[in-house]
Amino acid sequence: MSEAPAYRSSIPDSAEERVIETHEDGSKAQAEYWLDGQRVGRRYFFESGELAGDVGLRGDRYHGIDYRWDMPGSLMSAIPYADGLEHGTAHQWGYDGTYLGSYTMQHGTGIDLWRSGCGGEQPVLSEVRYYRDGQRHGFEWWLNGDQRSVYEEGHYANGQPHGILRQWNSQGRLRRGYPQYYVNGERVTKRQYLRASQHDPNLPRFSPEDNLPARTFPPEVAQHLGPQE
């Protein structure tokens, strides 16, 4: 059973619908909504006519709750926005309606926790991203089902890659071409990175152990991990 309020659109009922995109069969695929000369929302539709997305707008910025359905009638997420930044508690469901969890942002700052799971099983974390003021800032992890290792890791500062990017294959070995090293969005050599990290506390220090996929997550993430295999 859902632990969040039912779908309630942020788009005023009195807004005028303007279809801006159609499916091949002519049915509406995307529509904008206008009120008093202002665009106040946008909706997306499956070919069946059911909602695929619904979000309020203030100008060009998301404002209100952004609802997404991954298939007709199956609500996937409800994420609140204020003036283009995530603000409030976001909720997520599995395709079978199982409630998976939530996370909270304050004006675009916080930790985005994305989960997977269905059939009543306890959800597991699948993606983690740190944000500051609406931009990725800090680590990003793509977790394996064991909840103790990752298959992709990055680090960002003010929305730009700023750290070490690693990807692993299904055998837990680094993919060819990794690690990659970035400073302020620019890819650099390992030697340049090691030099820069000595003077920039926002750059994670290189450690050979981190080339293995096992991770010990910080407490603010660890408390949300699912059952470990």
Q: Which two three-digit tokens encode residue 163?
A: 């750290």
Cα angle: 117, vertex 221, 178; to 5 degrees: 85
pLDDT digits (tens, 9 = 90+) for 123-174: 999 999 999 999 999 999 999 999 999 999 999 999 999 999 999 999 999 9
CATH number at residue 91: 3.90.930
Last residue of a domain, one of 72, 90, 108: 72
pTM over 0.85: yes
Number of Cα atoms under 13 Å in the Cβ half of residue 191: 0
Structure letter (DSSP) for residue 179: S
Could you tell me which of 119, 78, 67, 77 has the C-alpha nearest to residue 98? 119
In a shared domain, residues 59 and 103: no
In a shared domain, residues 140 and 50: no
184 vs 78: CA distance, rounded Å: 32
In a shared domain, residues 28 and 92: no
Could you tell me which of 144, 12, 145 has the C-alpha nearest to residue 153? 144
pLDDT at 45 over 50: yes
pLDDT at 120: 65
Three-class DSSP category at 186: strand
Q: Is residue 156 part of a domain?
A: yes
Mean per-residue pLDDT, 116-126 = 83
Percent of the chain with pLDDT over 90: 90
Structure letter (DSSP) for residue 219: H
Per the document, the length of the chain is 229
126 vs 109: CA distance, rounded Å: 20
Last residue of a domain, one of 72, 89, 110: 72
What's the total number of domains in the chain?
2
Mean per-residue pLDDT, 100-125 = 91
Amino acid identity for residue 23 in this structure? H
Q: Is residue 36 part of a domain?
A: yes
In a shared domain, residues 162 and 60: no
Q: Which two three-digit tokens encode residue 127?
A: 């993606």
CB 69 within 8 A of CB 53: yes
